[in-house]
Amino acid sequence: MLELINVNYEIDGKKILSNINLKIDNNKIMIITGPNGSGKSTLSKIIMGILKPTSGKILWNGKDITNMSIDKRSNFGLSYAFQQPVRFKGITVKDIIDISSHKENDINTISNILNEVGLNYSEYMNRELDDKLSGGELKRIEIASVIARKSKLIILDEPEAGIDLWSFNDLINLFVNKKKESGLLIISHQQKLFKIADEIVLLENGMIKSCENYISIKNMLCCNRCVKKENIYE
């Protein structure tokens, strides 16, 4: 279980996050939503160790990891998928999956991982992670690399962004299946994802406004217009 205790973050004297208290349980899906600029991505990066909180504590199964590096958090079982995946010229899809899983994988293993994200092994295994791949392809490959790590907590920043040919419903089914093995923390505006969440956290102005289930948060968003209507899909 991951726990955040009174986490604050500021930059150049500007408060970005204020007194964040959260518990993210194993084998649960938590979605963090809210208007642009509310601190969602900042919070996810603090959890992964990309950013350091100004104050507060982050505990992993009771162990203080507040000042631990990204590598050490990864060794504990945390993994992160960026909103905009990074391109690596010269590194193939097979390379990135092997690197992520810390071993040389056989054809069947890599084929199964790529199939989970809607990609064909023979077509993609030797493709480089360069500008010849679309944003949607890169997103799926990044999610595949996260799956390969067999992480205990998967952090996904707007995983639906750029998903094109791959069915959005397949993305949802993938997350539901991964919940059996890992906890998932998802940054998203998509109401279709809200429906699979065990808990939905609404951030506003860097503060937690509420922690609710799907029905409650849907009513709140509709009434308060905290998230623009065009970002909500039935």
| pLDDT of res. 25 | 86
Decide if pLDDT at 226 tops 60: no
DSSP string of 117-173, one letter each residue: TT--HHHHTT-EESTTS-HHHHHHHHHHHHHHTT-SEEEEESTTTT--SS-HHHHHH
Backbone CA torsion sign across 182, 79, 104, 109: positive
Condensed to tens digits (0 to 9), the pLDDT of residues 199-208 reads: 999 999 999 9
What does the alpha-carbon distance between residue 127 and residue 221 come to, in Å, rounded to a whole number?
42
- What is the number of structural domains in the chain? 1
What does the alpha-carbon distance between residue 194 and residue 212 come to, in Å, rounded to a whole number?
10
Q: Torsion angle, CA of 123/88/75/137, rounded to 10 degrees?
A: -40
What does the alpha-carbon distance between residue 155 and residue 142 come to, in Å, rounded to a whole number?
12
Residue 160 belongs to some domain of the structure? yes
- Residue 220 CB contacts under 8 Å (≥ 6 apart), including other chains: 202, 210, 212, 226
Condensed to tens digits (0 to 9), the pLDDT of residues 12-44 reads: 989 999 999 999 888 899 999 988 899 999 999
Residue 177 belongs to some domain of the structure? yes
Its domain, for residue 31, covers 2-84+151-231
| pLDDT of res. 219 | 62
| pLDDT of res. 87 | 75
Query: At 123, which amino acid appears?
Result: E
Residue 16 belongs to some domain of the structure? yes
Q: Go through the chain and tell me how many residues it has.
A: 234
Residue 38 belongs to some domain of the structure? yes
Grouping H, G, I as helix, E, B as strand and the rest as coil, residue 178 is helix
- Residue 36 CB contacts under 8 Å (≥ 6 apart), including other chains: none
Residue 24 belongs to some domain of the structure? yes
Residue 104 belongs to some domain of the structure? no
Best CA proximity match to 126, nearest among 170, 177, 86, 91: 91
| pLDDT of res. 227 | 47
| Banded pLDDT at 211 (limits 50, 70, 90) | confident
The DSSP element (H or E) to which 108 belongs, if any, is helix 107-116
Residue 125 belongs to some domain of the structure? no
Residue 183 belongs to some domain of the structure? yes
| pLDDT of res. 224 | 55
- Residue 14 CB contacts under 8 Å (≥ 6 apart), including other chains: none
Which CATH number is 50's domain given? 3.40.50.300
DSSP character at residue 226: -
